[in-house]
C-alpha cells in the first residue's frame, strides 16, 4: 500500500515556568483584545455597508500598537496577533457563505485561551520547542513521538479551564498507509441504552461517563454557587475543581470513542451509519444530557476522518429511513412501532431485536447506495409514520 500524506495535529501537555506562564497569559489577553477590536471595527463598517478585509485589519493593528492605550500589544509576539486576524477573516468568510453565524466577541472568562504560532514565531530543534519572546524551551511531556522527519508548520498553545497547559503541533505525516481491503461491512445504529448496536448483533454498552461523575460534579457545583461573586481566590479554586471534573469526563469519553472508531475502521471496509441531526435532538430537555454524553457527533467525526486516512468508506443513510419499522428479512413495513417495543415479530415469522434490526436495515440500504450511486438517498417513511430520528429523540433517559 502506498503511504499518503495527511496533516495531523499532535497534542501534548507541558509545564511552563512562571515566566513562560506569565508571557503566555499576556499573549492570550492580547489575542483576545485584538480579535475584539477587529470585530468591532468590521461590525461598524458592516453597519455602514462597507467591508473590511484582513489587510485592512492588519494595518489597524499596526496603528493600535502606536497608541498609548494599546502600546502593550507590542510586548508580545506579533505572530499570534496576526493569526487571530486571519481566524476572524475565516469566520467572516464562513458567515458570508452562510455556513456559520455572525462572529461573536471573545469573553475573558468563557472564551478558550489559546495562541497560534506559525514558523516565524517558534523554533523547533533537536526535539525542543521554543516560542517567540521566550529564552527557554517548553517542558513538554512527549507522550508519543512525532512522525519521522516531520517538522511542525503551526504550533497552538492553550490552557483549559482546569488549568492544564497544552501544545498542539500541526505536521505533515507521510507514513499513513491505507489498510488492506476487506469484504467486511457493518451497519451501526446509535442509541442511549446501548451506545452502538452493530448489524452483526453485537451491542456495545453506553459507558455514560457523565453519569459516573454526576454526584461529584453536583457537589462541586453547589460549593461553587455558594462562593462570593467576583474574582476571589476561593471562587477560582471552586471553579477550577468543577472544570477538572468536566475535563476528566471529556478525556474518558474521547479515549473510549477513539478506541471504538479505530476498531470499526480496522475491521470493516464499509461502515453505514444514520445521518442524525444531533443539534435538533438535544433540544429535547429530557434527553439533552444523555445525548450529549453519548457524543454521537464526535463519534461520526472520528469515524469519517479515520476512514479517509485508511481507505475505508463511511455511508450516512437518510435520517427519515424507517430502519426500526422495516423487517430486515422480508421487507415488510410496520405501520406503528411503539417505543416500549424492543422486540417484535413480523408477519413472516421472524422475531427481531429492534436495534439489531435497524442496524441490519441500515447496512442493506447503505450497500444499495454504493451500487446505485452516491447520489441515491433511501426512501422516506410515509407522512403518517414516525421517523427513526424522532423515535430516538422521544426516548427517556434511563
The residues annotated as belonging to the active site are 189, 274, 355
**Do 236 and 281 meet the contact criterion of CB atoms below 8 Å apart?**
no
**Do 235 and 224 meet the contact criterion of CB atoms below 8 Å apart?**
yes
Q: How far are the Cα atoms of 179, 183, 318 from residue 128, in angstroms, in the given order?
A: 33, 45, 48
Q: Distance (Å, rounded) from C-alpha 362 to C-alpha 388?
A: 11
Q: Annotate 156-222 with DSSP letters as a single string.
A: EEEE-TTS-EEEEEEEEEEEE-PPPP-S-EEEEEE-SSEEEEETTS-EEE---HHHHTHHHHHHHHH
In DSSP terms, which residues pair with 128 in a beta bridge?
125
What does residue 329 show for φ and ψ, rounded to 5 degrees? -95, -55
Q: Distance (Å, rounded) from C-alpha 199 to C-alpha 44?
A: 55
Which element (helix H / strand E) includes 124?
strand 122-125
Q: Distance (Å, rounded) from C-alpha 82 to C-alpha 374?
A: 41
**Do 23 and 133 meet the contact criterion of CB atoms below 8 Å apart?**
yes
Nearest alpha-carbon partner for 14 in 123, 114, 129, 113:
129
End-to-end C-alpha distance for the chain, whole angstroms: 46
Q: Distance (Å, rounded) from C-alpha 163 to C-alpha 241?
A: 10
**Do 159 and 165 meet the contact criterion of CB atoms below 8 Å apart?**
yes
Nearest alpha-carbon partner for 144 in 117, 171, 123, 112:
171
Rounded to 5, what percent of the chain is helix, strand, coil?
A: 45, 20, 40
Which element (helix H / strand E) includes 154?
strand 154-159
**Do 64 and 37 meet the contact criterion of CB atoms below 8 Å apart?**
yes
Amino acid at each position: 500500500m502506498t503511504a499518503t500524506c495527511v496533516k495531523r495535529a499532535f497534542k501534548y501537555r507541558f509545564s511552563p515556568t512562571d515566566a513562560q506562564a506569565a508571557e503566555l497569559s499576556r499573549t492570550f489577553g492580547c489575542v483576545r483584545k485584538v480579535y475584539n477590536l477587529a470585530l468591532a471595527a468590521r461590525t461598524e463598517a458592516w453597519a455602514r455597508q462597507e467591508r473590511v478585509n484582513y489587510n485592512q485589519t492588519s494595518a489597524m493593528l499596526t496603528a493600535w500598537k502606536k497608541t498609548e492605550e494599546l502600546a502593550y500589544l507590542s510586548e508580545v509576539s506579533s505572530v499570534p496577533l496576526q493569526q487571530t486576524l486571519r481566524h476572524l477573516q475565516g469566520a467572516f468568510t464562513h458567515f458570508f457563505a452562510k455556513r456559520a453565524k455572525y462572529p461573536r466577541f471573545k469573553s475573558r472568562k468563557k472564551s478558550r485561551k489559546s495562541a497560534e504560532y506559525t514558523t516565524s514565531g517558534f523554533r523547533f530543534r533537536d526535539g525542543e520547542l521554543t516560542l517567540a519572546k521566550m529564552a527557554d524551551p517548553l517542558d513538554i511531556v512527549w507522550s508519543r513521538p512525532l512522525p519521522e522527519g516531520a517538522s511542525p508548520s503551526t504550533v497552538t498553545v492553550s490552557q483549559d479551564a482546569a488549568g492544564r497547559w497544552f501544545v498542539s503541533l500541526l505536521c505533515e505525516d507521510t507514513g499513513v498507509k491505507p489498510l488492506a481491503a476487506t469484504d467486511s461491512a457493518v451497519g451501526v445504529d446509535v442509541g442511549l441504552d446501548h451506545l452502538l448496536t452493530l448489524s452483526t448483533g453485537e451491542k456495545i454498552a453506553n459507558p455514560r461517563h457523565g453519569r459516573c461523575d454526576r454526584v461529584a460534579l453536583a457537589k462541586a457545583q453547589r460549593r461553587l454557587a455558594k462562593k462570593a461573586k467576583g474574582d476571589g481566590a476561593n471562587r477560582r479554586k471552586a471553579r477550577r475543581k468543577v472544570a477538572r471534573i468536566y475535563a476528566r469526563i471529556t478525556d474518558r469519553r474521547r479515549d473510549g470513542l477513539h478506541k471504538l472508531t479505530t476498531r470499526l475502521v480496522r475491521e470493516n471496509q464499509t461502515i453505514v451509519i444514520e445521518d442524525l441531526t444531533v443539534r435538533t435532538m438535544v433540544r429535547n430537555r429530557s434527553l439533552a444530557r444523555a445525548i450529549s454524553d453519548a457524543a454521537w457527533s464526535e463519534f461520526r467525526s472520528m469515524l469519517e476522518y479515520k476512514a479517509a486516512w485508511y481507505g475505508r468508506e463511511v455511508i450516512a443513510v437518510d435520517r427519515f429511513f424507517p430502519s426500526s419499522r422495516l423487517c430486515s428479512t422480508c421487507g415488510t413495513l410496520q405501520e406503528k412501532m411503539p417505543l416500549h417495543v424492543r422486540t417484535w415479530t413480523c408477519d413472516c415469522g421472524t422475531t427481531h431485536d429492534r436495534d439489531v434490526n435497524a442496524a441490519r436495515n441500515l447496512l442493506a440500504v447503505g450497500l444499495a447506495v454504493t451500487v446505485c450511486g452516491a447520489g441515491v438517498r433511501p426512501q422516506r417513511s410515509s407522512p403518517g409514520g414516525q421517523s427513526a430520528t424522532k423515535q430516538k429523540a422521544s426516548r427517556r433517559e434511563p
